[in-house]
């Protein structure tokens, strides 16, 4: 009889340990993914002033666009310090929309569009945006897996005992970001 109780106890202890370790692994993967997003956002923040300076040289009278991009960049950096995915996502979406207006200004200047510096900065920014999207997907996938484990029975018991909390997804906040782009000629 004692052997059966001992075997059951050992099996429960192994299950608790395995579940705890899986929760820790998923939490650390989500943190790592968040760190990857930080790295790419930092790269984007470093590229934007260079891009603005190149465009400024060609379009000095487009001051409002430059101010909006600079403001959006500052807002995104400030939101980054909060560490809250929802605030960061909103600020990043605002920054992305202001960058679109910067590229629209660039379209009006054929010499600028042909500039090697501008083309290289634009390519680097596009590459960074792709990496940010990949990092967001990786982060959201890890958060999804962690949240499923935290909410699922019986692992939710272990998560509750050890204080694991659900994490926020990195989502698009504004409704206009979800709508299809309209092209007018």
pLDDT at 155: 92
pLDDT tier, 180 (very low <50, low <70, confident <90, very high otherwise): very low
CATH topology of domain 19-169: de novo design (two linked rop proteins) (1.20.1440)
Task: Specify the higher pLDDT residue, 50 or 141.
Answer: 141
Question: Are the C-beta atoms of 98 and 69 separated by less than 8 Å?
Answer: yes
What pTM was computed for the model? 0.65
Mean pLDDT along residues 122-140: 88
Tokens of 37: 């997003």
pLDDT at 183: 34
Domain boundaries defined on the chain: 19-169
pLDDT tier, 152 (very low <50, low <70, confident <90, very high otherwise): very high
- Angle, alpha carbons 54-65-184 (nearest 5°): 105
Kindly report the number of other CB atoms within 10 A of residue 42's CB atom. Answer: 13
**Residue 23 to residues 3, 42, 111, 173, Cα–Cα distance (Å):** 30, 29, 54, 28
Residue-wise pLDDT tens digits, 42-60? 888 888 887 777 776 666 6
pLDDT tier, 184 (very low <50, low <70, confident <90, very high otherwise): very low
Inter-axis angle of helices 85-107 and 116-151, nearest 10: 160
pLDDT tier, 81 (very low <50, low <70, confident <90, very high otherwise): confident
Residue-wise pLDDT tens digits, 153-162? 999 999 999 9
């Amino acid at each position: 009889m004692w052997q059966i109780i001992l075997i059951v106890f050992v099996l429960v202890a192994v299950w608790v340990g395995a579940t705890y370790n899986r929760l820790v692994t998923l939490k650390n993967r989500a943190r790592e993914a968040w760190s990857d997003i930080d790295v790419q956002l930092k790269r984007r923040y470093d590229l934007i002033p260079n891009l603005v300076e190149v465009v400024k040289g060609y379009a000095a009278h487009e001051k409002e666009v430059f101010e909006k991009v600079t403001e959006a960049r500052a807002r995104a950096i400030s939101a980054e310090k909060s560490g809250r995915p929802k605030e960061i996502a909103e600020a990043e979406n605002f920054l992305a929309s202001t960058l679109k207006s910067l590229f629209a200004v660039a379209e009006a200047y054929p010499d600028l569009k042909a500039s090697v510096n501008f083309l290289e900065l634009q390519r680097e920014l596009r590459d960074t945006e792709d990496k940010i999207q990949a990092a967001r997907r990786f982060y959201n996938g890890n958060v999804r897996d962690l949240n499923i484990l935290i909410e699922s029975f019986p692992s939710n018991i272990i998560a509750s005992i050890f204080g694991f909390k659900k994490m926020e997804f990195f989502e698009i906040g504004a409704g206009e970001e979800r709508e299809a782009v309209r092209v007018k000629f």
